[in-house]
Amino acid sequence: MQPFVRAPAISLQMAKKKSSSSESSDITWEVRANSGQFHRQLQRKSFLFFQWGRYADNTMRSHKYTLLNFLPYTLYEQFQRFANFFFLLIVVMQCVPAISTIPWYITVFPLLVVLSVRALKDLVSDQGRRRSDKQINSRSCDLLTSGGFQTVQWRNVCVGDVLRIHKDQIIPADLLLLYSTEPHSLCYVETADIDGETNLKFRQALASTHTTLASGSLEQSLSSFNGIVFCEEPNGHLYSFRGELRWQEQTQRLDTEHILLRGTVLRNTDLAYGLTIYAGADTKIMKNCGKVIVKTTQVERILNRVVLGIMVFVLLVDLLLAVGSGVFEHRVSPRVEVLAALGGDSSAAYRAFLTFWGYLILLSPAIPMSMYITFEVMKVIQCFFINWDLQMYHADNDKPAHARSTSLNEELGQVGHLLSDKTGTLTQNRLLFRQCCIAGHVYGDAPAHESQKPLDLSWNRFSCGGLQFWDQRLVQRLVKERCPQSREFFTALALCHTVMTQWKEGAPHYQAASPDEEALVGAARELGWVFLSRTRDSLTVSQLGHTCQYQLLALVDFTSKRRRMSVLVREPGGDLKLYCKGADIVILERLQKDCPHRESSERALDLFAQGCLRTLCVAVRCVSEAQWGAWRQALEACQAEAPGREARLEELHDCMEQELTLLGVTAIEDRLQDGVPETIATLKQAGIKVWVLTGDKTETAVNVGYACSLMDADSSLLQGDQLRQLLQSSDPDVRIRQNKKSEIWSTDKKMLGDNTTIVINGLELAELLAVPEWGSRFVALANQCQSVLCCRVTPGQKAEVVQLVRTHTSSVTLAIGDGANDVNMIKTSHVGVGLYGVEGSQAVQNADFALAQFRFLGRLLLVHGHWSNQRICLFLRVFLFKTTSFALVHVWYSFFSGFSSQSVYESWFISLYTVMYTSMPVQCLAIFEQDVSAEGCVRWPEVYQKGRRMEHFGPRALAGTLLYSLYSSLVLCLLPLGVFQHLALDFQTLAVTIGTAAVFTATAEVVIETKYWTKYNLAAVILSLFLYFMSTLILHSPRLHSTAPQHYIFPGVSINAFGEPVVWLTVLLTTCAAILPSMAMQAFNVVLTRSNTHRIHSQRNSELSRVNGTPFHRGAARRRSSYAVSQGKGFGRLITSGAGLRTAAAPRQSTPHPAGRDSIKAHHLPHPAGTDSIKAHHLLHPAGTDSIKEHHLLHPAATDSIKAHHLLHPAGTDSIKEHHLPHPAGTDSIKEHHLPHPAGTDSIKAHHLPHPAGTDSIKAHDLLHPAGTDSIKAHHLLHPAGTDSIKAHDLLHPAGTDSIKAHHLPHPAGTDSIKAHHLPHPAETDSIKGQTPSRPTTSRTQQGQTPSRNTTSRT
């Protein structure tokens, strides 16, 4: 009997569609096999900024500097800063003696230092990228030459070369697969470095190349291969390829199944041979990397504008002073004989012209050039702090945090939008089988109970370990009790899949197209149902040691539309069964009427969804021979049909996948990285909008979004038509919160913006990006929502989303990812963070910061980002204050000097003021300042919003700083002049006095701004003042004056000035008056307002202590998780066509499991027929077969489960409080949350329940029922005599129809409703006080408990 083969038919249709699409497209890229000379002639070459040629070489070039372009490139970047360009002009003017007011070297030296430091820093950073490029380019591969295969480096590969790839080797270029050592030239690749997914994808060569190359000597056949490939031009579409191979007078269509991409790794295939299609910069992965972008911070851009504003202000002041000089020379100088003699024959206009340039040079210190030197040094030091932070060091992979860029530190403190990849960034891409529900019984623990010991599976010789599942009851059901439902459930898991087997060291290892399938088949293997091997028409499975072979009649593969897959098999006994698994929504609607365990399974689905687990329903259908025969004939007839075949096939598949019987539900955890939910919750509290961009399907991404606290449990999803309706609205101010009259939310008026998440897929995103108005409206809507989830997006679309946010908001964007598909997004964002991935380091190499785990991002932003932003902003403000207040003194002094552009200060003082006298205190401020400690930054993430709001460097702060400096300069000039007006002191003493006051004022301002003092801050203040006085005394030495009188013109002035008390009094008075506004503002801030920082420091730690982050709260069961698969399709076509299936059979088992003997290790304990006590968590009932897990209670004769905290006893017995159930036929009452026993007298300690047929107590949380077989999940008990499902907190009476509110339980035989923690006695009507143990008069005590009085009252 020939099996039904569906996959080839689908593939044929897809091939036809792709073929027609290929024919309609332009395929102009020509590649000739084994024609190196042809391609090298057209190879791309470059010189400086010029390129020519068609084909790129295979050299990796992520660096931007070369020996030839370094100097022009770095100078071009440096002089884009206004300050650098301005000072270059100042240097040129200082070389003109007629207008030079200060020596030229005073400006040249700082300018050269600024340019050198920045260029050296960029060169060091670029050298790191160059070393990385060299490492990649030096990798080896096998290249086919005239003498056979030779090992060459990647850089030597050219388009048209034939390469040989070994197992576990990284593919060096985009190749057309020609042949592999696997059957039918199949090979498997791992794309972790591209999309972060570790599950394998299959690629297959064309049948023509496989047949021809395999027929003779392989090397000779490859050498003579002369095919020509015509395909699309190089592009960044990772998941599409169009082309054709012209060979042997035939044209064969090519698609993505035939292409091996650069960066992927060959797995489970010994050798593969390929033709190089794209190389180097033309490869798809490199096309997705984007260009090297020079990033500047928002603070730096604002600083450039401020400096430009200061330059304009200085020019205007110079112009006014020049006008004043002209007026003075015209009206005043002719009347004064001395001034007239000094002016000579020059006209007033000419003197004014020279005065303009003189004042321009004199006021140039107002533009703080030396600030840029300190600015760069401070950033480098802060990068060292990030690199040295041990709390961001990951010991498992020995990776510390690394600041790869030294120019973006302060940007970390202003992030408003975080755009994150999912796979490998938020998740570990490690799926774990956590729980399952079989026949209404839930097995397994939630992920929180990982401290338990794993199952002892030493009896299973095929066990490979790694199963994180601890419920011994399931093993007991399978092995000891031979439960038929449980066995059929795992039979379905072992048969219904497209997994392929590879044997290593005597154990099967699985190759799966989906990580979910690998997790399920692996769990079945660990529990005794081992998938051994498959052929085209058979499946071999070991069931507890017995080898069974099933005949495969049909396989209907998974598709994104079907959301399910099925296999039709013939059992060894001859029966036909259809096993089907898929999303719960799809499977539940195909169940037969009155399907048993449906309601309990749906409750289990809700429970698993609350735990953020990925669920999958498993069902079976018995098929008769007649049904199979008719169905097969219909399929064969459908195969011959041309039009409408796909629709007809879908109808036939749907017809067979009906009347299913539900076997159970699986729950898989998509393992998040440690600390991801807490980190995202903390970042959201800091006001950061979190967007997740992933290539996964929507259901998977949404499920992970709930698990990682991206969305709340009760979040509403805005997607599809609702989102389109909002985007198409004519209202320009569309908002999530609409009035009642608005028609926007006519379908859902309860949706709130703060609790809404936008979900959009790649196709919708492409449509949105095509309409500019929609883009701005989409970003506006997203800013009102809780988060945004972009699914099925390509790497290029990720970058487009980042650019969309940058275009329509002023927010700083941060992108984080771990794969090469995230590189473009990382480069496009303001700040790029790369995670050290499982394979490769493309993201890290192109990132600005590198981390080992996502959880470290919280500390990077909230601590280092906040500190860096605050330090840099304070540093810039203080620096602007001290330089402008120092320079603008000349403006006020010009009114007393006749606008003569005479300097107030000594020339050496001008040069050393910012470099030596006032530099160290402000540097320590930029290095050590903290407004909040590291622990406080994480505990109170709201503090981070100060940086986002630009409180430290916003327009108000900058305007206040500049006005403050203007006031201080006025005080520094006028107050000493007023004092010296009536004193017999010379101009030079006045210059020393003003200079000393300026130094004291700048130092005092730093002291006022410093909130976090260290010994270094104190030492810097003392040392800077010491250097000022020492250098002033030395520079004013008469000996230096005698050596160079033109450079040292203040001989002995400082010694005389410092000996005058009036000078010191003037200096102190001037300093106090100059800093008065700052001191007053600080006092007003403390008295009149209480900032967040002050509030934090002023409150008690005990009042503010809370857990870091917000844990995930489970809400109502409003959502369901769905089965998720990888991006690619499954291996169904390969299986049904026989391609890629090895002929070697699985090893035969030498020791089959006996039929009637179950060997159960520790944690598997049979109960005798007596009175033994059984350890916690694993209990066998003496008269039954059930083991009961923690919080799981058996009811004697029922099938329904009741929600947590509210339990009804069957027919007039007890209503039982959570966790503590009395035994129906015992004599004990229970202490502490302790319930009275209906007919007994003993009190039992908390969590210890007596056995019904004995006197032993059983450990906590594990209760045996005397005659039942059902186990019930935590807080869910079965109703004794019905099938109703009872919602949480609302319980139905077993013999009636009343619904009872939460925590209020009716007595089964009475009429009283009893408050929470007050439970009625089943045979009486006493009301019992909450949590107070009661005992009858005949009670006795156990375990030394003090008996209590009977507090019950008869009704």
Of these ranges, 295-304, 349-358, 677-686, 1102-1111, the one predicted with the greatest mean pLDDT is 677-686
**In 1034-1052, which positions are buried (b, 16+ CB within 10 angstroms) versus exposed (e)?**
ebbbeebbeeeeeebebbe
CB distance 848 to 404 below 8 Å = yes
Sign, CA dihedral 1119-1120-1125-1130, equals: negative
Average pLDDT on 1148-1156 reads: 42
Distance of CA 768 to the CA centre of its chain: 24
Average pLDDT on 1120-1136 reads: 55
pLDDT of residue 333: 83
Rounded to an integer, what distance in angstroms lies between the CA atom of residue 488 and that of residue 485?
5
CA dihedral angle for residue 54, residue 60, residue 62, residue 65, rounded to 10 degrees: -80
Residue 642: CB partners within 8 Å, gap ≥ 6?
none
CB distance 970 to 1070 below 8 Å = no
pLDDT of residue 291: 67
Distance of CA 1015 to the CA centre of its chain: 39
Average pLDDT on 847-856 reads: 93
Average pLDDT on 632-645 reads: 79
As a whole number, the mean pLDDT across the chain is 77
Residue 722: other Cβ atoms inside 10 A: 18
Which of these, 401, 370, 376, lies nearest to 123 by C-alpha position? 376
Among candidate residues 421, 445, 818, 1214, the one labeled active-site is 421
1278 forms beta bridges with 1201
Q: Regarding predicted confidence, which is higher, 1112 or 689?
A: 689
Rounded to an integer, what distance in angstroms lies between the CA atom of residue 995 and that of residue 365?
14
Q: Regarding predicted confidence, which is higher, 655 or 1135?
A: 655
Per-position DSSP letters for 378-390, written without gaps between them: HHHHHHHHHHH-G
Residue 838: CB partners within 8 Å, gap ≥ 6?
192, 196, 198, 424, 429, 818
Angle among Cα 1159, 1164, 1168 to the nearest 5 degrees reads 95
Sign, CA dihedral 1053-1054-1055-1060, equals: positive
Rounded to an integer, what distance in angstroms lies between the CA atom of residue 40 and that of residue 157?
10
**In 156-181, which positions are buried (b, 16+ CB within 10 angstroms) versus exposed (e)?**
bbbbbbbbbbeeebbbbbbbbbbbbe
The two three-digit tokens of residue 1198, written as one number: 């029922």
Rounded to an integer, what distance in angstroms lies between the CA atom of residue 1272 and that of residue 417?
44
Q: Are strands 756-761 and 787-791 parallel, antiparallel or unpaired?
A: parallel
pLDDT of residue 1043: 87
Distance of CA 1120 to the CA centre of its chain: 23
Is-catalytic flag, 674?
A: no
Model confidence band, residue 1171 (pLDDT cutoffs 50, 70, 90): very low
Q: Regarding predicted confidence, which is higher, 782 or 715?
A: 782
Locate the DSSP E strands across 378-504. Answer: 402-403, 415-420, 427-438, 441-443, 500-504
pLDDT in tens, 1020-1043: 999 999 999 999 999 999 888 888
Comparing 60-64, 439-443, 836-840, 967-971, the range with the smallest average pLDDT is 836-840
Q: Are strands 174-180 and 162-166 parallel, antiparallel or unpaired?
A: unpaired
CB distance 864 to 930 below 8 Å = no
The two three-digit tokens of residue 1002, written as one number: 């700048």
**Count of H-run helices and E-run strands, the chain:** 45, 46
Rounded to an integer, what distance in angstroms lies between the CA atom of residue 865 and that of residue 852?
17
pLDDT of residue 1278 exceeding 70, the answer is no
CA dist 420 → 292, 415, 825, 835, 1033 (Å): 20, 13, 9, 11, 59
Average pLDDT on 1175-1196 reads: 36
The two three-digit tokens of residue 77, written as one number: 């970047």
Rounded to an integer, what distance in angstroms lies between the CA atom of residue 1153 and that of residue 547?
10
pLDDT of residue 861 exceeding 90, the answer is yes
The two three-digit tokens of residue 1165, written as one number: 């304990």
CB distance 1257 to 1229 below 8 Å = no
Rounded to an integer, what distance in angstroms lies between the CA atom of residue 1018 and that of residue 833?
36
pLDDT of residue 567: 94
3-state secondary structure of 1092: helix
Model confidence band, residue 377 (pLDDT cutoffs 50, 70, 90): confident
Q: pTM for this structure?
A: 0.69
Q: What are phi and psi of 648, to 5 degrees?
A: -65, -40
Q: Are strands 546-556 and 564-570 parallel, antiparallel or unpaired?
A: antiparallel
pLDDT of residue 1086 exceeding 60, the answer is yes
Rounded to an integer, what distance in angstroms lies between the CA atom of residue 13 and that of residue 1085?
73
pLDDT of residue 307 exceeding 60, the answer is yes
Residue 809: other Cβ atoms inside 10 A: 17
Rounded to an integer, what distance in angstroms lies between the CA atom of residue 612 and that of residue 615?
9
Residue 93: CB partners within 8 Å, gap ≥ 6?
99, 100, 357, 360, 361
Average pLDDT on 936-957 reads: 91
pLDDT of residue 1202 exceeding 70, the answer is no
CB distance 28 to 233 below 8 Å = yes
Rounded to an integer, what distance in angstroms lies between the CA atom of residue 502 and that of residue 288?
34
Q: What are phi and psi of 54, to 5 degrees?
A: -105, -50
CA dist 747 → 46, 715, 740, 761, 1118 (Å): 59, 16, 12, 21, 18
Average pLDDT on 572-591 reads: 92
Of these ranges, 606-610, 642-646, 733-737, the one predicted with the greatest mean pLDDT is 606-610
pLDDT of residue 447: 54
pLDDT of residue 1354: 33
Which of these, 1256, 1243, 1265, lies nearest to 1340 by C-alpha position? 1243
Average pLDDT on 390-402 reads: 91
Q: Regarding predicted confidence, which is higher, 340 or 867?
A: 867
pLDDT of residue 283: 92
Model confidence band, residue 419 (pLDDT cutoffs 50, 70, 90): very high
CB distance 844 to 850 below 8 Å = yes
pLDDT in tens, 786-836: 899 998 888 888 999 999 999 999 999 999 998 777 888 998 999 999 998
CB distance 509 to 422 below 8 Å = no
3-state secondary structure of 292: coil
pLDDT in tens, 1337-1352: 333 333 333 333 333 3
Rounded to an integer, what distance in angstroms lies between the CA atom of residue 1133 and that of residue 127?
48
- What is the Rg, in whole angstroms, of the alpha carbon atoms belonging to the chain? 40
pLDDT of residue 9 exceeding 50, the answer is no
Helix/strand/coil percentages in the chain, nearest 5: 40, 15, 40
Distance of CA 1125 to the CA centre of its chain: 20
